[in-house]
């Protein structure tokens, strides 16, 4: 007899060997049918996830997970990857499967076949998947010996390699219908629980991400528990496609990429307007918050990178160069340069905090396969800051940074964000005691500012833990931009100090932080968030003046000169074209405002304003329009 504590149902006593599903059915059959999987907690506190078919043989606690839980959606996607693999095996019997995990918003499976697969083939695979779903095959878990697993997958070199990596004597496999896969699970109860799915794309992927290995076929897909959720997601993907910053950047002549410098963005005049306006605002906020701007060299000696730890922990991402027979590196980060400025003179405890801000151009080697517009480049500008602070003042300093982040994000229209605390990685510098202090300090700061957060184990920088801020855009996507990193290690490695009130030398603590992150990437996010129709204050062209005909050219030029004289970025479309064609062109150019000039406007010395976002303002005086224009720009409003 076992005693099971079920969240929401209380204690259930049962004979050993009963499945979770059967156990729950004793108390609530509806709940049992609705559940997707279970989270188990043993008496020793260890937790794990299990299929509902899991047989119970000891006392434990059970928390049921339902379709709305994140882990359930994860599990659904992983199970759907098995169904896709089963369908592919039916269509291409010679297929050899590698791995098929769930990923954010979906799943993929990598496999090897002799024939090519085209996007048109996805429909064939989907149709076969629907038959497997309709068959409602249970996902059956079985544990076998490593030798038995090798026998089962003897024709598949990828599975054999994975089996060799498993340290346990027993190996878990899952069967659904005729398809058997090497898998640790868990899975949904049966294929019939897959309500809505879609195969999205085909790509190539090296086995285990190593370009020396064989190139496999990868098919991406997504699955949801309801058709409505799937439709909403696919609509969001389509909106994202239309908002792609790479296309918009090209169409609006903002930036470009060239084969002569792969992964290195070229900024055009209109793109520079956006950059400079963002950076002007950035400088203003930093000056108001007591930061001093610095600039450090792009190339620094290898010796410096040995001292900082980058040589041992980041070398594969760096570029190197020889100067006068000496070895140098192109900087991937700005922190060592800021430390050298700090070390250039003595400091007193009275000076702290010392806040150095730097718009530093860094270079990082990225493989060509991961380059992606402004989102993944090989050189970018970090809106960096390195703050030297007394340990007793860490809490207030971190709070000040958190407030800056919230303020700046709101100005750009990002009002929702979540926080993650990334803790010590295996590959790190500094003592455990340093990491304990740093992690506790960051956690206390998060709690002190009443921020909800989750732990991201092992994802800290090699020199310290960090708080990561993930903003949400208009397409419901999240982006990690701001980060606050707490570093006790690098000040020790560089031997920096200050003279304390006791006239003895002490060591400061260092905070590394960015708010925008990569300026290039942040601009890409902004472009996609607004689908290219940027807020008036950073739009490269704020308004287009559209005379209905040549008769109104003089009055249109007058309006143009008034606005240009007022510091506004306007264009005059004097082409001999219809008004509809001019409006269409302005809309294609993502210009927020269109100023229409005709007979009525000329006679009354007014203008009619047509907003790209919708809604007209008719026959408004030039003075009133200027006031509205000015007020919108000065207050950095996100909508016109």
* pLDDT recorded at residue 209: 84
Residue 85, pLDDT score: 97
For the CA atoms of 512, 513, 519, 520, the dihedral, rounded to the nearest 10 degrees, stands at: 70
Residue 140 binned pLDDT confidence (cut-offs 50, 70, 90): very high
**Which secondary structure element, helix H or strand E, spans residue 215, and what is its range?**
strand 215-224
Annotated catalytic residue, options 378, 466, 610, 612: 466
Confidence of residue 418 (pLDDT cuts 50, 70, 90): very high
- Which residue among 128, 141, 364, 437 is the active-site one? 364
- Are 595 and 617 spatial neighbours (Cβ–Cβ below 8 Å)? no
Tokens 């054999």 correspond to 160
613 has pLDDT over 70: no
DSSP state of 261: S
- Which is catalytic among the residues 383, 384, 468, 473? 384
The tens digit of pLDDT for each residue in 568-596 reads 999 999 999 999 999 999 999 999 999 99
State yes or no: is 466 an active-site residue.
Answer: yes
Residues in the chain: 640
Q: What is the mean pLDDT of the chain?
A: 93
For residues 513 and 543, is the Cβ–Cβ distance under 8 A? Answer: no
Residue 382: active-site member = yes
Give the β-pairing of 570-572 and 543-547.
parallel
Is 364 noted as a catalytic residue in this protein?
Answer: yes
Is the pLDDT assigned to residue 158 strictly greater than 90?
yes
3-state secondary structure 349-366: HHHCCEEEEEEEEEECCC
Average pLDDT for 386-414 = 95
C-alpha separations of 408 from 281, 334, 456, 513 in Å: 9, 22, 24, 14
> Among residues 386, 582, 590, 610, which one is catalytic?
386
What's the sign of the alpha-carbon dihedral 453, 457, 460, 465?
A: positive
When pLDDT is averaged across residues 596-612 and rounded to a whole number, the result is: 92
> Which parts of 598-639 are beta strand (E)?
606-611, 616-621
Examine the pLDDT at 125 and tell me if it is beyond 80.
Answer: yes
Q: Sign (positive/negative) of CA torsion 427, 433, 438, 440?
A: positive
One DSSP character per residue, 521-587 reads HHHHHHHHHTTT---TTT-SS-EEEEESSGGGHHHHHHHHHHHHHTT--EEE---SS-HHHHHHHHH
Q: Which of 512, 513, 521, 590 is catalytic?
A: 512
* Cα 132 to Cα 122: distance, rounded to the nearest angstrom: 15
Q: What is the pLDDT of residue 499?
A: 96
Q: Left (φ > 0), alpha (ψ -120 to 50) or beta: where does 479 sit?
A: beta
Give the C-alpha separation, 491 to 497, whole Å: 8
Which residue is catalytic, options 335, 424, 573, 602? 335
**Residue 512 falls in the annotated catalytic set:** yes
- Preceding omega of 188 cis (within 30 degrees of 0): no
Among the listed residues 141, 159, 378, 382, the single catalytic one is: 382
- Where do we find the tokens 């209380």? 10
**311-317 long-range Cβ contacts below 8 angstroms, 24+ apart:** 313/427, 313/428, 313/429, 313/462, 314/462, 316/365, 317/364, 317/365, 317/366
- Name all domains of the chain by residue range, CATH numbers in brackets: 2-66 (3.10.20.30), 71-241 (3.30.980.10), 264-298+332-529 (3.30.930.10), 543-634 (3.40.50.800)
Per-residue pLDDT tens for 213-225? Answer: 999 999 999 999 9
Q: Are 381 and 520 in contact (CB under 8 A)?
A: yes
Average pLDDT on 308-314 reads 89
Nearest to 373 by CA among 262, 242, 534: 262
Pairing between β-strand 55-56 and β-strand 170-176 as defined by DSSP bridges: unpaired
- For the question of residue 183 being annotated catalytic, the response is no
Which pLDDT band holds residue 355 (cuts at 50, 70, 90)?
very high
């Amino acid at each position: 007899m076992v005693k099971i504590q079920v969240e929401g149902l209380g204690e259930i006593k049962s004979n050993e060997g009963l499945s979770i599903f059967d156990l729950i059915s004793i108390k609530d059959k509806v709940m049992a049918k609705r559940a997707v999987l279970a989270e188990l907690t043993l008496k020793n506190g260890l937790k794990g996830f299990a299929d509902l078919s899991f047989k119970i043989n000891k006392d434990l606690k059970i928390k049921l997970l339902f379709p709305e839980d994140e882990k359930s959606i994860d599990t659904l996607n992983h199970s759907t990857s098995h169904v896709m693999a089963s369908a592919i095996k039916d269509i291409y019997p010679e297929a050899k499967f590698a791995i098929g995990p769930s990923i954010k918003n979906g799943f993929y499976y990598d496999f090897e076949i002799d024939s090519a697969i085209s996007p048109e083939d996805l429909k064939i695979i989907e149709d076969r998947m629907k038959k497997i779903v309709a068959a409602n095959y249970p996902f059956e878990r079985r544990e076998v010996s490593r030798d038995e697993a090798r026998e089962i997958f003897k024709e598949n070199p990828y599975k054999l390699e994975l089996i060799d990596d498993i340290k346990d004597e027993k190996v878990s496999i899952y069967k659904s219908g005729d398809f058997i896969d090497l898998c640790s699970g868990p899975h949904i109860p049966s294929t019939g629980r897959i309500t809505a799915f879609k195969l999205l794309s085909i790509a190539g992927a090296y086995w285990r991400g190593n370009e020396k290995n064989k190139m496999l076929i990868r098919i991406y897909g997504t699955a949801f528990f309801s058709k409505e959720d799937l439709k909403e997601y696919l609509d969001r993907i389509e909106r994202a496609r239309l908002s792609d910053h790479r296309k918009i950047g090209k169409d609006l002549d903002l930036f470009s990429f060239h084969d002569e410098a792969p992964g290195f963005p070229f900024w055009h005049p209109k793109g520079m307007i956006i950059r400079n306006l963002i950076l002007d605002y950035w400088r203003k906020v930093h000056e108001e918050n007591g930061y001093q701007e610095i600039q450090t060299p792009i190339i620094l000696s290898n010796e410096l990178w040995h001292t900082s730890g980058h040589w041992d922990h980041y070398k594969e991402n760096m570029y190197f160069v020889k100067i006068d027979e000496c070895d140098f590196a192109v900087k991937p980060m700005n922190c060592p340069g800021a430390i050298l400025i700090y070390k250039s003179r003595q400091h007193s405890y009275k000076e702290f905090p010392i806040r150095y801000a730097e718009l530093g151009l860094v270079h990082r080697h990225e493989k060509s396969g991961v380059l992606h517009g402004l989102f993944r480049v090989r050189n970018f500008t970090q809106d960096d800051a390195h703050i030297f602070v007394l340990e007793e003042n860490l809490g207030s300093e971190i709070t000040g940074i958190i407030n800056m982040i919230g303020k700046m994000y709101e100005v750009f229209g990002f009002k929702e964000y979540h926080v993650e605390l990334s803790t010590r990685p295996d590959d790190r510098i500094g003592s455990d005691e340093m990491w304990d202090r740093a992690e506790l300090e960051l956690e206390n700061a998060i709690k002190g500012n009443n921020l909800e957060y989750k732990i991201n184990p092992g994802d800290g920088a090699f020199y310290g833990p960090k708080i990561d801020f993930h903003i949400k855009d208009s397409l419901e996507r999240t982006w990690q931009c701001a980060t606050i990193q707490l570093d006790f290690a690098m000040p020790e490695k560089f031997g920096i100090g200050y003279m304390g009130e006791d006239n003895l030398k002490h060591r400061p603590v260092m905070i590394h932080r960015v708010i925008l992150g990569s300026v290039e990437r942040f601009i890409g996010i902004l472009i996609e968030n607004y689908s290219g129709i940027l807020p008036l204050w950073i739009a490269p062209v704020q308004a287009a003046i559209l005379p209905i005909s040549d008769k109104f050219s003089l009055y249109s030029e007058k309006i143009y000169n008034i606005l240009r004289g007022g510091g506004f970025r306007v264009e005059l479309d004097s082409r001999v074209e219809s008004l509809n064609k001019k409006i269409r062109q302005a809309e294609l150019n993502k210009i927020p405002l269109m100023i229409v000039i005709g007979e009525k406007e000329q006679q009354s010395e007014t203008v009619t304003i047509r907003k790209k976002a919708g809604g007209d303002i008719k026959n408004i005086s030039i003075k009133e329009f200027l006031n509205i224009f000015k007020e919108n720009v000065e207050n950095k409003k996100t909508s016109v």
